[in-house]
Chains A and B, each alone.
Chain A
Amino acid sequence: MTRAPRLLRWLLGQCAPRADRADFLDDIDEGYARRHQAQGRVTAWRWLAMQCLTSPWPMLRLRLVRQAGDAAAPSRDHLLHDLADDVRLALRLARRNRLTTTAVVVTMVLGVAVTTAVFSVVNGVLLRPLAFRESDRVMQFGATMRSGDSTMQISWPDFQDFRREARAFGDVAAASLSGVALTHGDAPQHVLAGNVDAAYPRVFSTSMQLGRYFADDELRAGGRHVVILTDALWTRAFGRAPDVVGRSISIGGDPHEVVGVLAADAYLWPSASIELLAPLVVLPGTFQENRGASWLYAAGKASSGTSLATARRAVTAIDARLIQSYPDAKAGLAVWVAPLRDMVVGDVRSMLILLSAAVAALLLIVCVNVANVLLVQSSARSREFALRTALGGSRMRLRRQLLTEGLLLSIVGGAVGVALAPTLTRVFVALYPGTLPRGGEARVDVTVLLVAFGCTLLAGVLSAMPTMRSAGRAVGQDLTSGGRSSAGLRERHLARGLLVAQVALSLTLLFSAGLLVQTFQQVSATAPGFRSSGLLSFHVSPSRVSHPDAAALARFYRSVVEAVESIPGVTHVATSNEVPFSGYARFDVFVPVERGDRGSDNPQVRIGTVSADYFTTLGLPVLKGRGFARTDADSAPRVVVINEALRRRYYADVDPVGRMISYDRGAPWQIVGVVGSARMRGLTQPEEPELYVPDAQLPGRSRYVMARVAMTPSQVVPQVRAALAQLDPMLPMTEVATVEERMERDLAPQRYRASLVGSLGTVALLLVTLGIYGVVAYGVTRQAREIGIRMALGERRGQVWGRVVGGAIQVAVIGVALGLGLSLAMERWLASVVVGVRPDDPITLGAVSFGLVVVAAAAAAGPARRATRVDPATALRAE
């Protein structure tokens, strides 16, 4: 006869009361066989699956009812009753051993709270889908540059080609970011605007809470000036006034009509901090139309049923064709797509994975530590176990008792840990330098609670397991030997094994921390190429109304420079379109006249529009020729300065000074000098080729002002503010920060990683120390008699000490060996988070290994000293 599949059958059998089990399984077999015969395998399976879903619960209830009914009769299955007994006993025990209980619970709280908090951040940031409909189908375009770095921007012609040719995408949206001065009420303010196209609401499933989205004619060049407010800006600047639609507001001095307000939950792209939407208008005949200029964010929504792989292939295929057609403009610029979520999360990903691994290791260490404490405690109870076994208690029952004890402690610890987790989560997010992308979405939700619950149970089981294993075995002899001599040996072996694991995990954790600290040091020691100390920077964007044309702007910037220069303590002042580590950069095509203009296929270069004193103010050395002078004014011959990185790339063998270039398709410009390169994007970023143009010959709508100050830069801020207010009371002075502060902000992620993993490593080290101390101290107490005998037989105190400490060192060395293997196995993965350090750095590995062995020896030294004080006579008499 056909029988039901064995595993399901067995599972069902487990639910049935013992008395009915055989009948029940026969019934299952019969039902399965009959269906199998009459209706085929599928129906039989379906029926069986149905039974597996519906039968266990009533059967289990029947089983419990039976047991309750039979309570008077002796039974092996008093599950509930036993559980109550176990819990009672565990509670009594926990009360009696207050110190152990406290230690275990505190350790558990630590483990569960940190794990839960980190997981809730990981969950919110990495795992949960973005908060808009069908977000999993949205992919963002990006490009890999020649330097190997990635950019999230592509060029306008590329975007058009992808939109036209990539059938994998239903809609492709493009956007750019711009900072604008919004004048509303009394104080002008600087807000980030997203310039978006018609596809934006379709790709991001955006809806409006007031008004409408941009009409087609408003999205064309020369259309009406219109904007859409985000919920945040509507609240902040307009107090949620319902009549805001139709109002005219001043942006950069121009009146713009508000046509709508985005829904409160609208997904903001390309940056979460945009507060305003404006139409994306590509001006014909500007750099924007150049294929070499990557300035546009693009995101596509894949047609339903299109996989990421298909979309990727489609984009790569189109890009390959484009690279063939435009080899120069697209030299080393390969376009790809990635899920939007991955792009939003970006750099944090590796950090969060690292953190999760570190926390998992810490949780394991916590479990091992608790396991050790319980093990040591249980070996003191070996007589109790022996007695219970001798009186007929089953081993199963004993193990269940121990499991209950472990679980009880872990559940108490876990509950407190989970209670602390939301606070800790907020701390993690708040500690993150700048804004953690999606950080606001990190919270303790059902998934997190489930994981925390899982961790707690796992911790309870894991920590009770060694005790259960050892308590189940050969309990008999303890009764006669009184738990004195060799009985503790097994537990001690097990405890040592656990210590080895602990040391190995801590080594890996400490090694990672060591690498991260070194990375931080390396990065902060990187020379940026300019003098970062004593530099104050801020941003101004004069309105179109008071400064309508280039000449007015140039005059205004000059007056700002002069006004700031006259402040005591300020030595140099410069204006430019960029400031170190601001993230803002302008790119344009660069055409050495010798090469000739290749139309839309020209290489691109970073453009700095700077005032005469820029190089002096920033401290960039002039390597060849000259820097700019105040005489390089509008009417003077057009001149540029290039940096060393640009010289290396295009003028490696020739002297660039005196050569002509063109970059804006106008009359050529002459190179008059070469200055040192600077890391403008960040200390971990490479020096970019850059072309400097005199500000006076190309003034722009907004400028950074940098001032070199002889004292602490922040001291002059009030005077600067006053000076600016005198020049233009309506001008917002934004992004006020010293360049050192900007540098700190740039370094902050490295510091965050290093300090977080470092503190986890410290906690791990502390736990290891406690673990070793506990096990050794307990071993010494248990071995007092042996030590006494040995000393009576002539062993010297030094030998006793050496043996105890040697034992600990031995454990540490084995653990270190394992940990070294583990760390080296992680090498490839660590490589992605370290900079300037080898991911298998032998010095760090050596130092951490040695440190752990020393810590182990130190932790054992105290108990070892106690061992040498054992008085042989007392120890022997005590028997």
Chain B
Amino acid sequence: MAKGDLLGEFELYVLAAVQQLDGEAYGITIADEIERRTARVASLGSVYATVERLADKGFVAFHVGDAQPERGGRARKCSRITPAGRRALVASVRAFDRMVDGLPVRPAATPRR
């Protein structure tokens, strides 16, 4: 596996959030998703920069979301995970799993093969 395919920590969070949100992923929803799941406040600026980087790598693609009436009818630029992105996510999570396998950090250390 090429080294560039592995995701950085925050990239991993963002990419995972994009997939979790399933088509409804844009700046604030991504940031909130990360905050909800990791209990850490995500910087919106970093989310923007990271999504941009992920798009450059071909891991996410943009599409225009549904117009939202409460936002003055403006349509949002939403991100969706690409097949390449999904592969990178899986590869990164596996690599991470293998790294911590056997360490006392995970009581239920059952590698998902």
A and B part of one assembly: yes
- Quick one: CB contact mask for B32-64 with A, threshold 8 Å, 1 for yes? 100000000101111011001000000000000
Query: Which of B44, B46, B74 is A24 in contact with, Cβ under 8 Å?
Result: B44
**A54-B46 in contact (CB<8A):** yes
Contact: B48 with A24, CB < 8 Å? yes
- How many Å from the CB of B79 to the closest CB on chain A? 12
Q: Indicate whether A27 sits within 8 Å of B45 (C-beta atoms), given known contacts A34-B32, A62-B52.
A: no
Q: For A398, what are the chain B residues with a Cβ–Cβ distance below 8 Å?
A: none
Do the beta carbons of A1 and B48 come within 8 Å of each other? no
A752 located at the interface, meaning its Cβ lies under 8 Å from any Cβ of chain B in the complex: no
B86 within 8 A of A: no
Q: Which of A1, A30, A55 contacts B43 (CB 8 A)?
A: A55
User: B74 to chain A: which residues have CB within 8 Å?
Assistant: 22, 26
Q: Which residues of A contact B26 (CB under 8 A)?
A: 23, 27
- Taken together as a complex, chains A and B put the C-alpha atoms of A20 and B50 apart, in Å, by 13
For the complex, give the distance between the alpha carbons of A51 and B44 in Å.
7
Question: Contact: B32 with A55, CB < 8 Å?
Answer: no
**What's the Cα separation between A496 and B32 when bound, in Å?**
59
Q: Judge if B77 is at the interface, Cβ distance under 8 Å.
A: yes
B71 adjacent to A51 (CB under 8 Å): no
Interface SS of chain A: helix, strand, loop or mixed? helix
Most buried by A among B32, B44, B46, B52: B44
Contact check: which of B44, B46, B49, B71 meets A28 at CB < 8 Å?
A: B44
In the complex, A757 has a CB within 8 A of chain B: no
> Are A51 and B43 in touch, CB under 8 angstroms?
yes
A201 interfacial by beta-carbon distance below 8 Å:
no
Contact among A16, A30, A58, A62 with B71 in the assembled complex (CB-CB below 8 Å): A30
In the complex, are the beta carbons of A47 and B52 less than 8 A apart?
no
Residue A50 CB within 8 A of the other chain: yes
Residues of chain B within 8 A (CB-CB) of A58 are 43, 45-46, 48-49
A23 proximity list for chain B (CB < 8 A): 26-27, 76-77
Contact B28 A31 (CB under 8 A): yes
Q: Take A47-B41, A50-B41 as given contacts and tell me if A27 and B70 are in contact as well, using a CB distance cutoff of 8 Å.
A: no
Q: Which listed residue, B45, B52, B77, touches A57 by the CB 8 Å rule?
A: B45
A59 within 8 A of B: yes
Minimum distance in angstroms from A464 CB to a CB of chain B:
31
Please tell me the size bucket of the interface on B. 10 to 19
Residues on A with C-beta less than 8 A from B31 are 27, 31
CA distance A878 to B39 in the complex (A): 78
A28 vs B27: C-alpha distance in the bound complex, in angstroms? 9
Interface residues as binary, A7-30 with B (CB distance below 8 Å gives 1, 0 otherwise): 000000001100010111011101
Least CB distance from A67 to B in Å reads 13
* Contact A62-B70, Cβ < 8 Å, known A23-B26, A31-B31, A51-B43: no
Chain B nearest CB from A39 CB (Å) reads 12
Residues of A within 8 A of B49 (CB): 58-59, 61-62
Which residue from chain B places its CB closest to the CB of A55 in the assembled complex? B45
Q: Distance (Å) between the CB of A716 and the closest chain B CB?
A: 81
Residues of the A chain whose Cβ atoms lie less than 8 Å from the Cβ of B43: 50-51, 54-55, 58
Cα separation A702 to B76 with both chains bound (whole Å): 92
Given A55-B46, A58-B46: A27 touches B28 (CB 8 Å cut-off): yes
Contact of A56 with B by CB under 8 A:
yes
CB-CB nearest in chain B for A46: B41
Asked whether A62 lies within 8 Å of B48 as measured between CB atoms, the reply is yes
CB nearest neighbor in A for B30: A27
Q: Which residues of A contact B28 (CB under 8 A)?
A: 26-28, 30-31, 34
User: Which residue of the partner chain A has the closest CB to B28?
Assistant: A27
Q: Which residue of A lies closest to B76 (CB)?
A: A23
Q: How far is the CB of A776 from chain B (nearest CB, A)?
A: 53
Nearest opposing residue in chain B for A47, CB measure = B41
CA distance A24 to B52 in the complex (A): 13
Set of chain A residues within 8 Å of B48, measured between Cβ atoms: 16, 20, 24, 58-59, 62
B4 to chain A, nearest CB (A): 17
Set of chain B residues within 8 Å of A30, measured between Cβ atoms: 28, 71
Q: Complex Cα distance A34/B45, Å?
A: 18
Q: Are A51 and B77 in contact (CB under 8 A)?
A: no
Q: Which of B27, B44, B45, B76 has the most CB of A within 10 A?
A: B45
In the complex, what's the smallest C-beta–C-beta distance from A10 to chain B, in angstroms? 15
B45 touches A15 (CB 8 A): yes
Please give the residue numbers on chain B whose beta carbons come within 8 Å of chain A beta carbons, in ascending order.
26-28, 31-32, 41, 43-46, 48-49, 52, 70-71, 74, 76-77
24 contacts across the A-B interface (CB closer than 8 A)? A15-B45, A23-B26, A23-B27, A23-B76, A23-B77, A24-B27, A24-B44, A26-B28, A26-B76, A27-B26, A27-B31, A28-B44, A30-B71, A31-B31, A31-B32, A31-B44, A47-B41, A50-B43, A51-B43, A54-B41, A58-B45, A59-B48, A62-B48, A65-B52
Which 8 pairs from chain A and chain B are nearest by CB? A55-B45, A54-B43, A27-B27, A27-B28, A58-B45, A58-B49, A59-B45, A62-B49
Given contacts A31-B31, A50-B43, 13 further A-B contacts (CB under 8 A): A20-B48, A26-B28, A26-B71, A27-B27, A28-B44, A31-B32, A34-B32, A51-B43, A51-B44, A54-B43, A56-B45, A58-B49, A61-B49
